[in-house]
Chain A
């Protein structure tokens, strides 16, 4: 059991053992980086084909099925196509920035994976302020998007970049605020500590994941919505809105730079999904005590995959928002609700000392009501008064 659980760690130790002791830290770091790049690079390739297949099925189509069995070699064909395409840089573009923008997006995103615990003892670096590092690194994507939009010297690129900036900065606030209750209750900024805090069991073996508490569930939903917006995915894909502004900040990009943007966006999505798993879904812990024998990294992978599927599912379902709807939703709904969620987390913490029969149920229902009522009320405020019933006049 523990052999399979720690197989990657043991493997890395074994390989590092070949080297002299002085270079072993470097070797293990390189091994961790190589492993992550291999896994998440493959994950990116697979996600592109799975997303297309699932979207197609949700729209009653077949999806790509021409290249290889079931179309599984499609990512390879896409990659080859992207590599062999001509790389066009507009004459009036700012060449240096135009070249740097995809790199600025892709490189920091890889760094964000460093602090995520993918399994028991499986985080590349154990940083005390891991979550701060994650958000600090993540905010580089705004810079990259604006670099791309500005340097292209194209009105659509600039409009897309402006939209992206407005959207990403607006949603950064609820994204961070949704994580604050988790940090408060775990009492640590270290992601390994946060996972450990969710590692105990109650009620005969049910895990103490944050998502099983009212504030945790609300926090998870807020976090996922904000993460969708942060990674520019539908229904918040205004920066790229194809039907409105061609491809937004990607308009003047072609060939492998375009592919790098896609890589960066998907890796950003993976990183933020991994963070959601870590913060709210118990990281690599099993949901029930009797399932602890399953390797921890498999639990992480299962939760990660389900959340990615959820993102694809949402993309297939919801149409794109308008810009004012998007910003109203962020500032008039998400931000107040995540602040209220902080309060609910405080009530949850305060009520943890309650010690009377059915205290757990009362506590749960009280906190759920404290978050559900503002949710209902804020939704009403956001919507405003209902318009009067429509009057139709028909031609004679």
Chain B
């Protein structure tokens, strides 16, 4: 009969109307500031800098190689290299950033900086409540604000951080083994410098 579909549809909406009052399972709304959904592991918002150990600036993985600065499509990263070097996790002396700024009002959350970083130093964060009343000051984050411990990285991106930790542990063991072998071995017969 004509119009039967309209009646069927109206019964469906009436069922929703009544059901939403006695069956809370139907309501999909999350009342945001009070209720929050558990974070999703694949969520990615803005970059942050990973550091190892307890002290942020000493453990910073970043070596100021400026690959991310060059690759960043909207050019929101600004790096100045420091003159002083510091040892990295395998004990090798590396450069470190004197200034590392990210303008998060410019950042487009593409994650290219993360993909090009050879040191696993820059990773994507999950913070999203970034609004601020200060348009110019609070949206330019420096290296102190950007630095976050590896534990935090493990917490938000468990799978990715686990793989990286395993790889870095292996590197460290390999480096120690090499150092031990070097220490145990007799003095090399001739290095180019020593021969002179």
Interface positions of A (Cβ within 8 A of B): 54, 57-62, 313-314, 316-318, 375-376, 379-380, 383
- CB closest residue in chain A, given B19: A60
The CA-CA distance from A316 to B29 in the complex, in Å, is 18
Residue of A nearest to B9 (CB): A317
Contacts of B1-58 to chain A: CB distance below 8 A:
1-3, 6, 9-10, 12-14, 16-17, 19-21, 26-29, 31
B16:A58 contact, CB within 8 angstroms:
yes
A314 touching B3, Cβ below 8 Å: no
Q: Is the CB of B17 within 8 A of A54?
A: yes
Q: Flag if A313 contacts B10 (CB, 8 Å).
A: yes
List, sorted by A's number, 22 A–B pairs whose CB atoms are closer than 8 Å: A54-B17, A57-B16, A57-B20, A57-B21, A58-B16, A58-B17, A60-B19, A60-B26, A60-B27, A61-B27, A61-B28, A62-B27, A62-B29, A313-B17, A316-B13, A317-B9, A318-B6, A318-B9, A375-B2, A376-B1, A380-B2, A383-B2
- Judged by DSSP, the binding face of B is helix
Residues of B within 8 A of A316 (CB): 13
User: With the chains together, A318 CA to B9 CA distance in Å?
Assistant: 8
Question: How far does the alpha carbon of A350 sit from the alpha carbon of B14 in the complex, in Å?
Answer: 40
- Return the 4 tightest CB-CB contacts between A and B, nearest first: A379-B2, A58-B13, A317-B9, A60-B26
Q: In the bound complex, how far is the Cα of B16 from the Cα of A342, in angstroms?
A: 38
- Complex-state Cα separation, A59 to B26, whole angstroms: 9
Q: Which of chain B's residues have a CB closer than 8 A to the CB of A314?
A: 10
Whole-angstrom distance between the alpha carbons of A60 and B21 in the complex?
9
User: Chain B nearest CB: distance from A68 CB in Å?
Assistant: 16
**Which of these, A59, A62, A317, contacts B10 with CB under 8 Å?**
A317
CB distance B2 to A376 under 8 Å? yes
A318 cross-chain contacts in B, Cβ below 8 A: 6, 9
Contact indicator B31/A62 (Cβ below 8 Å): yes
CB <8 Å contact, B27 and A317: no
**Partner-A contacts on B (CB < 8 A):** 1-3, 6, 9-10, 12-14, 16-17, 19-21, 26-29, 31
A310 shortest CB reach to chain B, Å: 9
Task: Please measure, in the bound complex, the distance between the C-alpha atom of A233 and the C-alpha atom of B12, giving whole angstroms.
Answer: 20
CA distance A383 to B2 in the complex (A): 10
Partner of B12, one of A61, A317, A375, A383: A317
**Distance, CA A313 to CA B18, complexed state (A):** 12
A384 to chain B, nearest CB (A): 13
Whether the pair B2, A57 counts as a contact (CB closer than 8 A) is: no
Which chain B positions have C-beta within 8 A of A54?
Answer: 17
A57 vs B28: C-alpha distance when bound (angstroms): 11
A342: min CB distance to chain B, Å = 20
Q: Are B2 and A60 in contact (CB under 8 A)?
A: no
Q: Which residues of A contact B26 (CB under 8 A)?
A: 60
Q: Which residues of A contact B28 (CB under 8 A)?
A: 60-61
Complex Cα distance, B19 from A380, in Å, reads 35
Given contact pairs A54-B17, A60-B28, a sample of 20 additional A-B residue pairs in the complex whose CB atoms are under 8 Å apart: A57-B16, A57-B17, A58-B16, A58-B17, A59-B16, A60-B20, A60-B27, A61-B27, A61-B28, A313-B10, A314-B10, A316-B13, A317-B6, A317-B10, A317-B12, A318-B6, A375-B2, A376-B1, A379-B3, A380-B2
Complex Cα spacing A394 to B90, Å: 57
**With a CB–CB cut-off of 8 A, which chain B residues contact A61?**
20, 27-29
Q: A57-B20, A62-B27 are in contact. Are A313 and B3 (CB under 8 A)?
A: no
Give every chain A residue within 8 A of B1 (Cβ-Cβ).
376
Minimum Cβ distance to chain B for residue A151 (Å): 37
Q: How far is the CA of A49 from the CA of B86 in the complex (A)?
A: 63
What's the least CB distance linking A376 to chain B, in Å?
A: 6
Chain B contacts for A376, CB-based, 8 A:
1-2
Cβ contact within 8 Å between A313 and B21: no
Complex-state Cα separation, A317 to B29, whole angstroms: 20
- Least CB separation from A333: chain B residue: B2
A57 to B20, CA, bound (A): 6
Residue in A closest to B21 when the chains form the complex, CB atoms: A57
Bound CA span A62–B20, Å: 8
Question: How near does chain B come to A63, taking the closest CB pair, in angstroms?
Answer: 9
Give the distance in Å from the alpha carbon of A318 to the alpha carbon of B27 in the complex: 21
Within the assembled complex, what's the spacing in Å between the Cα atoms of A383 and B20? 35
CB closest residue in chain B, given A62: B29
From residue B191, how far is it (CB to closest CB) to chain A in Å? 67
CA distance A62 to B16 in the complex (A): 12
Q: How far is the CA of A380 from the CA of B2 in the complex (A)?
A: 8
Whether A317 pairs with B13 at a CB distance below 8 angstroms is yes
Report how far A59 CA is from B6 CA in the complex, Å.
16
In angstroms, how far is the closest chain B Cβ from the Cβ of A386? 13
Contacting pair B2 A313 (CB below 8 A): no
- Chain B residues with Cβ below 8 Å from A383 are 2
Look across to chain A and name the residue whose beta carbon is closest to the beta carbon of B18: A57
Q: How far is the CA of A54 from the CA of B10 in the complex (A)?
A: 13
- Would you give the shortest CB distance from B27 to chain A, in whole angstroms? 6
A59: which B residues are within 8 A, CB to CB? 16
Tell me the nearest residue of chain A to B11, going by C-beta.
A317
How far is A158 from B3 in the complex, measured between Cα atoms in Å? 33
